[in-house]
Amino acid sequence: MQSLYFSSRLQRLRNFSRDVTIVTQLCKGVLLRTDELNATQSMTSCFNMVNCAMHVNFRTIKTTLTSYAERMYTDKHEWVLIDGKMGTVGISHYAQDALGDVVYAQLPDIDTEILKKDECGALESVKAASELYSPVSGRVVEKNIAVEETPALINQSCYEKEWWDD
Amino acid sequence: MAQNLVTKLYRISVIGAARNKPYVVPSVKAVTYSTSTQQDSGAVKNSDAVKSVFISQSNDIFTNLALEDWLYKNFNFINHHILLLWRNSPAVVIGRHQNPWLEVNTSVLSEHGIEIARRNSGGGTVYHDNGNLNLTFFTPREHYNRKNNLQLINRALIREWGLKTEISPREDIVISGGYKISGTAAKLGRPNAYHHCTLLVSVDKEKLKHALHKHHKGIKTNATQSIPSPVMNLCDVNSHVTVEKLLSTIGWEYLRTCPYTAEDRGKDFIMKQRGFQFINPTDQWFPGLDKLRAELTSWDWRFGKSPKFNVTRTFQVPQELLGKEELRNEELSITIDVNKGMVEDVMLMVPPGLKAANGFSGQAQVVTSLKGQRFSEEAVTILQKALSELESPEQTRNEFVVDCVRTSILALEDEKSN
């Protein structure tokens, strides 16, 4: 029994060391920014575990950071389209339909630092103010001024009215 | 291929590696205060939620708004719905995205000791005093239903006093001939939501009219605007209605109504509920309440949160200030751009007659001393000081300009303006 335990632990460490390589590569690029606590923490914990490993088996694995743009939805409301380091946040058709006529859009200001799940703005419709929650952490770099000035745009199709060139 | 119609709101520089699986929002806030015996927020309920009626012992608008916010942020309503009943000393409450300068006469209110508060929900401006009862219906987001709540109030009024009321298309409660007796607003978040409304019982209607009187002030903005309606007190329709009686009437009706529909479950249903509770809103009982209250009383929230706007006023220049050669009617025009309650830019158009020999030369001073100031009387005082320091022989012209700026900011009724 004991030997089984040790061998499976060894296997886990072997697998882990493979993973560590990948994590290290990811972290390298990210660590240039000192404000990214998450990355630093995971980097530190990885190194700690590597030091404790009985077998250190660094195989170089070439990984390419494939960043593919995919729209990810939160629970029925906001979506985020991540392209590398930039995210675009919006609301879905379902959400604007549920809201009814939007009379005011309060969006987060440029340069605001937001944490994931923070309340970062509101959409007011027929006397109900619906909170906007941020699906990711980060710093706002641009906001849709057209929507702030004409909140009714939210209820119309916005495919024709692109507000920046992608 | 048909694609979802979507709206982009903002762009954000993301911290952390991109996730590669769909992100699902769990409960937003850590649930710290719960009367629920169920374990997690996703638990399927196998029994009705219980109900409580909380009655606030405070008469302070800011404390009560803070209490409302505290419950919204900290309480778990999954198995426990709450109706909060509260009253305030005279105050005007504006909606979250409104402009106080547009909605009310701010200087008049402060003279009469009437507070101006901004709430977190949307909607228009209302006047509160001790003859007005406020009701807040707290539920989880999924069970938010405004119509049910209003029907509950209608039923209570019929049951106790035989008063027949209707719900207007805008979801106000109206009585005999379309007079409004209640206004409604709501806030939807995750996991909680609330619907609150007022009930006019014996409000001072003169003060209400005076406080909510909208003056034409040349303000241009996209802030949400109030829609004025003729109002009536419940005590005008039936003199037996008092706020105290209404408190218990509506409370009992709330306790006997099904938590998910507007169905009346009868008197026996009340036995299963948690009844009435007096609430003392202090920081001791509600940790963090003082911080919420401080935020609600701050100038930045009440005034600074206004959407950006500009004010344009024109003033007839009195003949005696113009040069002797000028006999035409001349006008001074001021446009002030305000963002977050601070003056961002000022445009002053001084007519040539005023600028003539020994005329007004403090144009630059007006712009520089107002920029960056709060849109308030303080800015006018600073301007007055700046202009008096100018070496201009004609102080009357300076005073005229200062008066015009003061009128633009404080929106006093000026006989000469349009």
Q: What is the DSSP string of A86-123?
A: EEEEEE-HHHHHHH-SEEEEE-PPTT-EE-TT-EEEEE
- CB-CB neighbours of B231 under 10 Å: 23
Using CB atoms, pick whichever of A88, A114, A137 lies closest to residue B11. Answer: A88
**Residue B114 or residue B363, greater confidence:** B114
- Are B23 and A143 within 8 A, CB to CB? no
CB B409 within 8 A of CB B379: yes
SS3 at position A66 = coil
**What mean pLDDT do residues A43-60 have?**
37
SS3 at position A128 = strand
Using CB atoms, pick whichever of A77, A130, A149 lies closest to residue B222. Answer: A149
Q: In chain A, what residues touch B22 (CB-CB under 8 Å)? A: 72-73
Kindly identify which residue of chain A lies nearest to residue B18, measuring between CA atoms. A82
DSSP state of A154: G
ipTM for the predicted complex: 0.79
Nearest one of B336, B388, B380 to B362, comparing CA atoms: B388
pLDDT at residue number A62: 42
Q: In chain A, what residues touch B30 (CB-CB under 8 Å)? A: none
Highest mean pLDDT out of A43-57, A105-119, B29-43: A105-119
A79 touching B, CB under 8 A? Answer: yes
pLDDT at residue number B176: 81
Q: What is the pLDDT of residues A97-143, one digit of tens each?
A: 888 888 999 999 899 898 888 888 999 988 689 998 888 888 999 88
Query: How far apart are the CA of A5 and the nearest CA of chain B, in angstroms?
Result: 32
Query: Which of A44-48, B200-204, B347-351 is least confident?
Result: A44-48
Using CB atoms, pick whichever of B3, B24, B185 lies closest to residue A74. Answer: B24
Q: In chain A, what residues touch B121 (CB-CB under 8 Å)? A: 127-129
Q: In chain B, what residues touch A73 (CB-CB under 8 Å)? A: 22-23
Q: What is the pLDDT of residues B140-159, one digit of tens each?
A: 999 999 999 999 999 999 99
- In one-letter notation, the amino acid at residue B206 is E
Q: What is the pLDDT of residues B361-400, one digit of tens each?
A: 677 777 888 888 888 888 888 888 877 777 666 677 778 8
Query: How far apart are the CA of B74 and the nearest CA of chain A, in angstroms?
Result: 14
Confidence of residue B243 (pLDDT cuts 50, 70, 90): very high
Q: Is the peptide bond before B393 cis (omega within 30 degrees of 0)?
A: no
Of all residues in chain A, what percent carry a pLDDT higher than 70?
48
pLDDT at residue number A157: 55
Kindly identify which residue of chain B lies nearest to residue A85, measuring between CA atoms. B14
Confidence of residue A43 (pLDDT cuts 50, 70, 90): very low
Q: What is the pLDDT of residues A71-106, one digit of tens each?
A: 666 665 778 888 888 888 888 777 788 888 889 999
- In sequence order, what are the beta bridge partners of B55? B85, B278
Residue A160 has pLDDT above 60, yes or no: no
pLDDT at residue number A161: 44
A77 touching B, CB under 8 A? Answer: yes
**What mean pLDDT do residues A40-61 have?**
37
- Tokens (6 digits) for B254: 């709330």
Q: What is the pLDDT of residues B277-292, one digit of tens each?
A: 999 999 999 999 999 9
Residue B4 has pLDDT above 60, yes or no: no
Confidence of residue B201 (pLDDT cuts 50, 70, 90): very high
Give long-range contacts, CB 8 A cutoff, 24+ apart: A142-145: A142/A110, A142/B10, A142/B11, A143/A107, A143/A108, A143/A109, A143/A110, A143/B9, A143/B10, A143/B11, A144/A107, A144/B7, A144/B8, A144/B9, A144/B10
**What mean pLDDT do residues A13-22 have?**
42
Q: What is the pTM of this model?
A: 0.78
Using CB atoms, pick whichever of A104, A114, A153 lies closest to residue B7. Answer: A153
Three-class DSSP labels, chain B:
CCCCCCEEEEEEEECCCCCCCCCCCCCCCCCCECCCCCCCCCCCCCCCCEEEEEEECCCCHHHHHHHHHHHHHHECCCCEEEEEEECCCCEEEECCCCCHHHHCCHHHHHHCCCEEEECCCCCCCEEECCCEEEEEEEEEHHHCCHHHHHHHHHHHHHHHHCCCEEECCCCCEEECCCEEEECEEEEECCCEEEEEEEEECCCCHHHHHHHCCCCCCCEEECCCCCCCCCECCHHHHCCCCCHHHHHHHHHHHHHHECCCCCCECCHHHHHCCCCEEEECCCCCCCCCHHHHHHHHHCHHHHCCCCCCEEEEEEEECCHHHCCCCCCCCCEEEEEEEEECCEEEEEEEECCHHHHCCCCCCCHHHHHHHHCCCECCHHHHHHHHHHHHCCCCCCHHHHHHHHHHHHHHHHCCCCCCCC
A128 touching B, CB under 8 A? Answer: yes
